[in-house]
């Protein structure tokens, strides 16, 4: 504002006379000492004297303004320009013009209102101590308002001469370089994936890869998919390896389903056509032989499978509802069992009890003849859920390979694991799609049958001694279902005990099982060879239609709808209760269950005891070897954490769109908040000047910095809460599956946690760069980035807690709301000083928002402490200054506490699903 010379005051003759009378000794102009000598003058005389002083020595530009001395000598505070003052005329304050009052009331500064009035050092200039000079800021430095020396710009920052603020460029360059490198990595990964898919396919003897319909029909005409493929499909045939001995077992199975105990190996003359096909696969397929060899290496026992004996098995809920009642039977090692029954018959509960996922409320279970808690042996079994729970972002091979690496013995080298997976993939007929992503229902990549085989392969990769499957053929076409059934038979022929819940199987699949367990209303109505089931029910008076699927007929009968199949009206009771009683009285311990190891008659029990005494040493040795197998299973904890981290990083690379969108949202949030503070030109704080220049203070601005922090906290919350939720929210089912199979829960959690650090770092980098360029606060870029990084860390941790406690559909919204709540508890509105008066500061201090805002306030206000009374400002808003390191440390601690809570919720919530 330009200064104005006061207008001349016209005095009447009487006023002139009065002035002379008031100061008779004054010669020339009236001085301050003259005015002091006549303190008892009238108000009229005083006004006349003041006017006289305005024209002579006061230096105030406003007519009638009286100066106020700011010091007794030539004192000029740091950051002020005092060009005209001296010891004789010290700095003074003059009552301002109205327009200057308006400017100061709106937090601005105006030009001096008097000759000796100091002024704040102008933007882009600095005033060295003493205040006699106001020098322009040189290039490479910047000078905000009130500078007493230039501030050095950061390396590479844009700082022309007379700069008010610096524009950092190195962080921008780093951000652009990182983004460019990430784009290249994603492009290379995409190119590699495309190249892998375009490579010529090589099929093994079991791989029908890209065979078209005619090829498949040709193979079927030649004897089935299990035989050696025709030259038309065999691009390259591996050299045969020396044949392996057939897998040893205590029994064999015919295709009819009969199970015979044997002391030796499989005899070819006891196998039917399907078993002969398997033998052909075994001896003609190097991949099958390699897989058998790998399987045998995972087992520390002489036999691969587990046997299950159960007697009087019962289970009821806490409310008293009985799900299973008095189920008795035996499932020898290496057998292939189908569990059938109507809806609510207890099939899934039976499987869960047998696997140890839930504890039976009655009865006993023996594993290999020993009473054990199967939950302690979960590393030895595999469970294939009904839904295909796989990672859609990973390829077929990556899904199976991860399971193998985590669950195979820690002593295995990676090359051996890779060979094991190669042979398994070939046996699963997935070689041609091994480098294709699995996809999901919304974005399918491979077929449903292939996805089901991947689901099974993830369990076979661990070399299980028993495998349980929940409706493995549901949702598949007839051809895919038949392929799955053939795979299950092949698995059982290797010696792995295979137990599957089956629902409405086609006839071919039905007779593919060695034995059946039929359940109705939680009770068993049949347990024995598949070939004998029809004869058993015909003995009860039921007739099986010749052209009907026997499986459908059985389901009708055991669900109580069997009247239509009785021989003659009213000949036989067909209700379920009758079937249960018939099985209990005549079938349960009859010829259909001749291998039952529990509940035998006295003579048979005595004979078994004699046999048991003879083989007790062998049984003890087997038990010890089972313990060794359990002990050796599974990778070490650091290895599991690394594999989980690697898998999570691969998922992020595959989800490049989502990944870049996330960090882009972080940058956009910083851009918007930066634009809101751009007009301030970096001037985000204004307080009361230190004495003696306090009177020159403009209106204070204590709110700009806290509001910038508040907006930043809310923007970070909006940008990071949903992505933080999806870190775990999308993988709950996979986590339940893996932890139930023996994965380390803490290794999984740590691996996922480490994988988020890059996302947090990049998102906070983009946010800080755009915010720093536009808002240009006084806080250094490194300190601002550290604060933003720690707040991102907290939001991700908070979102993880939410993801453990709420449903997948509700999670993102609740995570956003939680982040907004802790942002509002940042001590800005209501101010922390007000909260202290409520004695609630402790509650606000639980929120990371308070520490985040305090860090911003500290580093933006402290550099101006030489000019403003920051302690007064601190008391006014309630924040404590000068503890930036503590603020950042507590932000990290709160984020870590959130993650500890999330981990505890992860392992404590839905514990039944983790067994």
What whole-number percentage of the chain has pLDDT above 70? 78
Note the pLDDT of residue 21.
Answer: 60
Distances (CA, A) of 350 to 174, 340, 341, 700, 759: 58, 11, 11, 74, 44
Is the pLDDT assigned to residue 474 strictly greater than 70? yes
Closest CA to 691 of 151, 112, 68, 134: 68
Q: Which of 338-347, 511-520, 879-888 is predicted most confidently? A: 879-888
- Chain centre to alpha carbon of residue 289: 40
- What is the pLDDT at residue 622? 66
E strand or H helix that includes residue 106: none
Q: Would you state the pLDDT for residue 240?
A: 40
Question: What integer is the mean pLDDT of 727-743?
Answer: 87
Does the pLDDT value for residue 187 go beyond 70?
Answer: yes
pLDDT digits (tens, 9 = 90+) for 115-136: 899 999 999 999 999 999 999 9
Task: Determine the pLDDT at residue 603.
Answer: 43
Taking all residues of the chain, what is their mean pLDDT, rounded to a whole number? 80
CA distance 629 to 617: 18
Q: Is 7 exposed, middle or buried (0-12, 13-18, 19+ CB in 10 A)?
A: exposed
Instruction: Indicate the SS3 state at residue 481.
Output: helix
Q: What is the pLDDT of residue 495?
A: 82
Percent of residues, the chain, with pLDDT higher than 90: 40
Phi-psi region of 742 (alpha: psi -120 to 50; beta: other; left: phi over 0): left
- Report the range of poorest mean pLDDT among 328-332, 590-594, 795-799: 590-594
Q: What burial class does residue 371 get, using C-beta atoms within 10 Å of its C-beta: 0-12 exposed, 13-18 middle, 19+ buried?
A: exposed
Q: Tell me the mean pLDDT in the region 93-103.
A: 91
Range with the poorest average pLDDT among 346-350, 372-376, 724-728: 372-376
* pLDDT classification of 268: cutoffs 50, 70, 90: very low
How many Å apart are CA 851 and CA 841, to the nearest integer? 12
Which pLDDT score is estimated for 46? 57
Q: Give 287's pLDDT tier (boundaries 50, 70, 90).
A: confident
Q: Is the pLDDT of residue 659 over 80?
A: yes
CB atoms within 10 A of CB 788: 29
Q: What band does 864 get if pLDDT is binned at 50, 70 and 90?
A: very high
Instruction: With a cut of 60, say whether residue 259 has pLDDT above it.
Output: no
212 — pLDDT class (breaks 50, 70, 90): very low
Among the residue ranges 154-168, 268-282, 360-374, 551-565, the one predicted with the least confidence is 268-282
Average pLDDT over residues 603-611: 46
Cβ within 8 Å of residue 26, ≥6 positions away: 34
Nearest alpha-carbon partner for 867 in 167, 126, 152? 126
- Label residue 215 by pLDDT band (50, 70, 90): very low
Write down the pLDDT at residue 849: 94
* Chain centroid, CA 219 distance in Å: 46
pLDDT in tens, 662-692: 999 999 999 999 999 998 888 999 999 999 9
pLDDT at position 892 over 60: yes
pLDDT at 7: 40
- 451 φ/ψ angles, rounded to the nearest 5 degrees: -65, -35
- Asked if residue 264 has pLDDT above 80, the reply is no
User: What is the reported pTM?
Assistant: 0.81
Nearest CA among 474, 580, 464, 574 for reference residue 527 = 580
**Segment of 513-522, 596-605, 621-630 carrying the highest mean pLDDT:** 513-522
- Expressed in angstroms, the distance from the first to the final Cα of the chain is 78
> Cβ atoms within 10 A of the Cβ of 149, count?
15
Decide: helix, strand or coil at residue 218.
Answer: helix
pLDDT at position 33 is 54
pLDDT at 207: 39
Q: What is the DSSP letter of 248?
A: P
Given a cut of 50, whether residue 230 has pLDDT beyond it is no
Q: Indicate if the pLDDT at residue 911 is higher than 60.
A: yes
């Amino acid at each position: 504002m330009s200064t104005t010379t006061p207008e001349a005051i016209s005095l009447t003759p009487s006023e002139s006379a009065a002035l002379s009378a008031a100061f008779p000794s004054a010669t020339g102009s009236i001085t301050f000492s003259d005015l002091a000598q006549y303190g008892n003058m009238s108000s009229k005389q005083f006004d006349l004297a003041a006017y006289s002083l305005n024209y002579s020595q006061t230096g105030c530009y406003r007519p009638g303004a009286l100066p106020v001395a700011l010091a007794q000598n030539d004192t000029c505070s740091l950051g002020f320009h005092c060009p005209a003052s001296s010891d004789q005329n010290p700095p003074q304050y003059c009552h301002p013009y109205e327009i200057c009052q308006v400017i100061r009331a709106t937090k601005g500064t105006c030009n001096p209102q008097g000759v000796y009035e100091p002024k704040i050092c102008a933007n882009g200039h600095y005033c060295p101590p003493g205040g006699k000079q106001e020098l322009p800021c040189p290039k490479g430095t910047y000078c905000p308002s009130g500078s007493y020396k230039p501030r050095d710009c950061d390396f590479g920052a844009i700082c022309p001469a007379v700069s008010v603020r610096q524009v950092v460029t190195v962080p921008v360059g780093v951000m652009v370089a990182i983004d460019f490198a990430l784009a290249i990595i994603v492009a290379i990964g995409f190119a590699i994936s495309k190249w892998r898919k375009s490579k010529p396919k090589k099929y093994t003897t079991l791989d029908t890869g890209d065979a078209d319909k005619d090829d498949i029909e040709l193979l079927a005409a030649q004897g089935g998919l299990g035989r050696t493929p025709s030259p038309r499909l065999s691009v390259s045939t591996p050299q045969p390896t020396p044949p392996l001995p057939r897998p040893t077992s205590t029994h064999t199975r015919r295709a009819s389903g009969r199970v015979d105990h044997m002391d030796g190996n499989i005899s070819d003359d006891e196998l039917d056509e399907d078993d002969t096909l398997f033998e052909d696969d075994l001896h003609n397929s190097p991949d099958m032989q390699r897989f058998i060899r790998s399987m045998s290496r995972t087992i520390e026992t002489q036999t691969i499978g587990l046997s299950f004996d159960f007697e009087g098995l019962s289970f009821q809920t806490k409310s008293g509802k009985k799900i299973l009642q008095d189920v008795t039977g035996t499932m020898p090692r290496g057998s292939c069992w189908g569990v059938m029954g109507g809806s609510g018959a207890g099939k899934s509960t039976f499987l869960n009890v047998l696997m140890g996922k839930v504890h039976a409320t009655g009865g006993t279970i023996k594993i290999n003849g020993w009473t054990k808690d199967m939950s302690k042996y979960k590393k030895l079994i595999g469970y294939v859920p009904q839904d295909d729970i796989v990672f859609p972002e990973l390829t077929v091979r990556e899904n199976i390979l991860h399971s193998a690496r985590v669950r195979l013995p820690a002593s295995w080298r990676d090359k051996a694991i890779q060979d094991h997976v190669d042979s398994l993939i070939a046996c699963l007929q997935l070689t041609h799609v091994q480098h294709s992503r699995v996809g999901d229902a919304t974005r399918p990549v491979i077929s449903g049958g292939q996805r089901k085989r991947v689901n099974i392969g993830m369990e076979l990769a661990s070399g299980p001694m028993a495998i349980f499957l929940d409706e493995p053929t549901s949702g598949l076409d007839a051809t895919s279902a038949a392929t799955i059934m053939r795979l299950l038979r092949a698995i059982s022929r290797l010696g792995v005990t295979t137990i599957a819940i089956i629902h409405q199987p086609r006839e071919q699949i039905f007779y593919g099982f060695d034995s059946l367990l039929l359940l109705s209303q939680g009770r068993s109505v049949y347990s024995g060879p598949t070939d004998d089931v029809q004869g058993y029910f015909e003995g009860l008076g039921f007739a099986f239609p010749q052209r009907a699927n026997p499986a459908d007929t059985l389901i009708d009968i055991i669900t109580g709808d069997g009247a239509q199949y009785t021989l003659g009206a009213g000949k036989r009771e067909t209700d379920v209760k009758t079937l249960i009683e018939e099985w209990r009285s005549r079938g349960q311990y009859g010829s259909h269950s001749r291998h039952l190891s529990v509940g035998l008659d006295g003579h048979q029990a005595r004979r078994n005891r004699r046999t048991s005494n003879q083989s007790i040493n062998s049984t003890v040795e087997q038990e010890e070897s089972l313990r060794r197998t359990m002990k050796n299973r599974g990778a070490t904890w650091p290895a599991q954490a690394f594999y989980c981290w690697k898998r999570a990083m691969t998922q992020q690379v595959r989800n490049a769109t989502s990944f870049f969108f996330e960090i882009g949202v972080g940058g956009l949030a910083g851009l918007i908040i930066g634009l809101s503070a751009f007009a301030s030109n970096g001037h985000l704080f204004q307080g009361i000047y230190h004495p003696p220049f306090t009177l020159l203070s403009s209106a204070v601005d204590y709110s700009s910095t806290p509001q910038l922090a508040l907006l930043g906290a809310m923007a970070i919350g909006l940008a990071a809460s949903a992505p933080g939720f999806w870190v775990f929210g999308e993988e709950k089912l996979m986590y339940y599956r893996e932890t139930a199979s023996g994965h380390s829960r803490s290794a999984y959690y740590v691996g996922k946690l480490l994988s988020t650090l890059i996302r947090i770092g990049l998102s906070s980098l983009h946010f800080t760069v755009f915010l720093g360029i536009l808002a240009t606060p006084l806080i250094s870029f490194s300190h601002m980035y550290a604060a933003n990084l720690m707040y991102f860390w907290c939001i991700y941790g908070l979102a993880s807690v939410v993801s453990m406690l709420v449903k997948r559909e509700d999670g993102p919204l609740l995570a956003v709301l939680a982040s907004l709540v802790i942002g509002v508890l940042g001590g800005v509105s209501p101010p922390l000083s007000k909260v202290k008066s409520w004695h609630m500061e402790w509650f606000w201090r639980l929120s990371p928002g308070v520490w985040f805002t305090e860090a911003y306030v500290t580093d933006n206000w402290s550099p101006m402490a030489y000019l403003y009374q920051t302690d007064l400002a601190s008391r006014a808003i309630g924040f404590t200054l000068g503890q930036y390191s503590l603020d950042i440390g507590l932000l990290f601690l709160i984020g870590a506490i959130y993650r500890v809570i999330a981990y505890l919720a992860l392992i404590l919530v839905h514990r039944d699903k983790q067994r």
